[in-house]
Structure 1
Amino acid sequence: MIFPLSIVSLLGLVCLALLASPFPYLAPGAVLGLVGVALLYRKPTWGLLGIAAILPFEGLFKDNAFSGSKFLGASLVLILMLQLAIRQLPSERLHSNIWRFLIGFMALYLLSLINTDNMGMSLGHLRELSVGLILFVITLLIGRELNLDIFARLVALSVSVTCVMAIFSAKYQDAGRASGLLKDPNNFALMIAFAVPMALLLVIRSPNLWHRLFWGGCTLLLLGGMTKTESRSGLVVLFLSLMIGAWHYRAHLGRLRPRHLGFAMLGLAILVPVGLYSMPAGYVERIQSLSILSSGAKSQDPSLGRRASYIVVGGGMIAENPLLGTGPGTFPLHYATTGYAKAFSITGKTEDLYRRAHNTYLEIFSELGVPAGLMFVGMLGLGFYNLMRARRAWMLRRNWQEADVLTHLSMSFLALMLFLMFLSAPNHKYLWIMLALTSVLRTKAEEAPLPEARA
């Protein structure tokens, strides 16, 4: 423990120096920082849980150079590097089958960066992506000790709080659409779709009625927040993930009794009219536009027109540069030079011409090339496969509680994967945390002993 003692001594000297400086009021902050670092050193998973809980509130610190999540991330990096150096953490924890795709993806990423059409935009993209890569490594190192129940509680509760803020305050809305603290309704809808399966898990696993009512209320807040975002993609993704969850629990249908069916009918009779009444008229119109598309008729929805233009521009970029693309983060540069940018401009300002693809897969294929795009898709597909294998391993061991947890985590991860088709978010923190967690959970499940066969 010589190294931690050295850090304590260093921070003590910093406190003394601050007391003697013109800024003595900063000394208590250094003391609190010392206490925080000491706690993180003993419980690094608290830092990861803190990042997951703070993420929905990051909009509050967007203009700050040093926010809470940055402090936690930087502290975790230093602590884990120290623990690896003194062999307090085994380096074997870094082993993951995700690396086979991630290394290839990053090699192609760097080649595309060298041949980019705009180095400034590409370096900005690399800086954002590096945050996700750091979280990936952090989760690999400490994911084994992560309490999944607490993780689910923090995610569900923090997103629910932002839903309350967005539903009841116009300050957290964008043109009437709930955007939370993220200033983007679709990004907010992604977080809600990610949190709903976890909230449902807490409802199912609640030890008593009061806990069940509390988490059920959080679930209703999340569904209300999703409605308020008016996100069609969010509605589709949430519906698909919930259908998968319902399929997992199909074996429980045999436990239902006629009285249960009566209560279910009564609940639907109350919730459906209330839901339809509370649903914004604009959201109904946006959903109806999807049925118009399926019938082959023309739609006057500018949002759908913009998304169609992204596909046209992205397809042209892929055709011109199929191997290495045009460079990370350069899709807005190419889109701004087309007639679509002016035709679908919302404000008419110059900066509004530079729009992202609103489709992570399209963006990666067009900016980094087809090989890198396949590596990225393979990486996410392997992550989902890891969760399925982990769930199967727990079922073989007759650990139904862990299997249920894996089902709901799979629903959340699937929601992220599907939502990437409607949002440009290759650096999303939840995505990289979950990607590393899939490998950790599979390894942990397969290493658990099998139950002994009965004689």
Structure 2
Amino acid sequence: MIFPLSIVSLLALVCLGLLASPYPYLAPGAVLGLVAVAVLYRKPAWGLLGIAALVPFEGFFKGSALSGTKFIGASLALILMLQLAIHQIPSERLRSNIWRYLIGFMALYLLSMIITDNLDMSQSHLRELSVGLILFVITLLIGRELNLDLFARLVTLSVSATCALAMLSAKYQDQGRASGLLEDPNSFALLIAFAVPLALLLVIRGPNLLHRLFWGACCILLLGGMTKTDSRSGLVVLFLSLMIGAWHYRAQLPRIRPRHLGFAMLGLVLVIPLAIYSMPAGYIARIQSLSILKAGAKSQDESLGRRASYLVVGSQVIREHPLLGSGPGTFPLQYATTGYAKAFSANRKPGDLYRRAHNTYLEIFSEVGIPAGLLFVSMLGVGMYNLVRARHAWLLRRNWEQADLITHLGMSYLSLLLFLMFLSAPNHKYLWIMLALTCVLRLKAEERPPTETRA
């Protein structure tokens, strides 16, 4: 790539200006920024990999006007707009069967903003959601060049690193619960649940014993981090996704010989008691508390009672505003006016009174209305259907390697969808990247007739 003389001259002027300013140490940053933009122009898929790897580390840049993900995302958006304009990237890549649902959802979303109970909160919610929408478009454009094996490695390593930090230092814990570099332990548990299927894929695909041991150690670190979060929802989601993965590999059970079965049983006898012994007593108590879910908002467990109160308040808002909701991002305002907010608030601080629903689906239905909520759920369901179709296409062509890859990506995607029932995260970066990736994977799998078999 050759830069015009005008751009080089502009860069020189910027560097001279920075050298003459009170911040001369920023001058080298202009050169490094240009180099980074040049690399992204040639290899935009590297930028998407960088965003995926930096998601667990976003806590380092909290409150910063410019972070790594913001710089990469903004640069990628501008570069891809330019490449679309000069036809370096075909516009056909934007084709997706999700657009019809997404456009309908956004139309109702904007209508809901017109009648919102609090415009400032709705505008803030829209700014957060726009990040996910931009990532959706970026992934559609460059998802074909994305190295999915490298994607799995980077996500596994980054989440494992934050697990190590959370387990070794109380600085990365919230009242004894591991939160990594995030504010909420449940948000951290979501990252772990997303990364575990990818780590297992790396264990299975390891070219030798050393690689398998390394990725196996990452799996153990991820599972240890999950127990440290004390997240009941995380454990449930992880268990369900792993059961689906086990069902996928059921065809390989005949390959297991009696001696292998004996070693497997011996491993279970050793691992299960060790896991129970090493699991924190508080976590076991939290899991046992799930048996009192039927008590609802009157539950003696404060966390479960508070979550039940979100359902009560959300249902009331849906009944009062069924078509367009109360306005995007206004659930905390609705909740703060109820007696539940005062009952479950320890110190009456705004952060305790104005609480989100901790359920993305409930939040969407109550804030934007039932029609928009149905479109949102349909959009996510179509993403899962795309993965099922892609896996089916690869199985018909007897490409077991690609089918396994789709299965593990599907497990990670399903973990996100299930976790949305326990967490308010409609703008989560992994969610929108994976949603667009489901379209790309299906199109790639169905490019050639499924009757073609791989030798």
Question: Which range, TM-score by smaller chain?
Answer: over 0.9
Partner of 2:383: 383
Distance in 1 separating the partners of 2:276 and 2:114: 52
Distance in 1 separating the partners of 2:136 and 2:116: 25
Matches within 5 A, 1:37-436: 37-293=37-293, 299-436=299-436
Deviations 1:407-440 (A, max 9, x none): 0000000000000000000000000000000011
Kindly indicate whether the alpha-carbon contact (under 8 Å) linking 1:226 and 1:234 is maintained by their aligned counterparts in 2: yes
Alpha-carbon deviation of 1:7?
Answer: 4.0
Distance in 2 separating the partners of 1:296 and 1:110: 34
Distance in 1 separating the partners of 2:453 and 2:400: 18
Unaligned 5+ runs, structure 2: none
Moved more, 194-203 or 5-14: 5-14
Aligned-partner SS, 2:446: helix
Alpha-carbon deviation of 1:351?
Answer: 3.1
Distance in 1 separating the partners of 2:108 and 2:2: 41
Alpha-carbon deviation of 1:258?
Answer: 1.5
Q: 1:227 to 1:19 in 2, by over 3 A?
A: same
Deviations 1:47-100 (A, max 9, x none): 000000000000110111100100000110111111111111111111111101
Q: 1:299 to 1:22 in 2, by over 3 A?
A: closer
Distance in 2 separating the partners of 1:16 and 1:303: 56
Kindly indicate whether the alpha-carbon contact (under 8 Å) linking 2:163 and 2:222 is maintained by their aligned counterparts in 1: yes
Alpha-carbon deviation of 1:449?
Answer: 4.7
Aligned length: 454
Kindly indicate whether the alpha-carbon contact (under 8 Å) linking 2:307 and 2:358 is maintained by their aligned counterparts in 1: yes
- 1:44 maps to a residue whose letter is P
Deviations 1:152-178 (A, max 9, x none): 000111000000111111111111111
Alpha-carbon deviation of 1:21?
Answer: 4.2
Kindly indicate whether the alpha-carbon contact (under 8 Å) linking 2:298 and 2:305 is maintained by their aligned counterparts in 1: no
Partner of 1:27: 27
Kindly indicate whether the alpha-carbon contact (under 8 Å) linking 2:314 and 2:357 is maintained by their aligned counterparts in 1: yes
Distance in 2 separating the partners of 1:275 and 1:452: 46
Distance in 1 separating the partners of 2:47 and 2:336: 40
Alpha-carbon deviation of 1:266?
Answer: 1.9
Distance in 2 separating the partners of 1:36 and 1:357: 39
Q: 1:447 to 1:327 in 2, by over 3 A?
A: same
Identity of aligned residues (%): 79
Alpha-carbon deviation of 1:6?
Answer: 5.0
* TM-score, normalised relative to structure 1: 0.97
- 1:18 maps to a residue whose letter is L
Kindly indicate whether the alpha-carbon contact (under 8 Å) linking 2:297 and 2:305 is maintained by their aligned counterparts in 1: no
* TM-score, normalised relative to structure 2: 0.97
Distance in 1 separating the partners of 2:4 and 2:301: 59
Aligned-partner SS, 1:447: coil
Moved more, 297-306 or 199-208: 297-306
Distance in 2 separating the partners of 1:343 and 1:390: 49
Unaligned 5+ runs, structure 1: none
Q: 1:15 to 1:448 in 2, by over 3 A?
A: farther
Aligned-partner SS, 2:183: coil
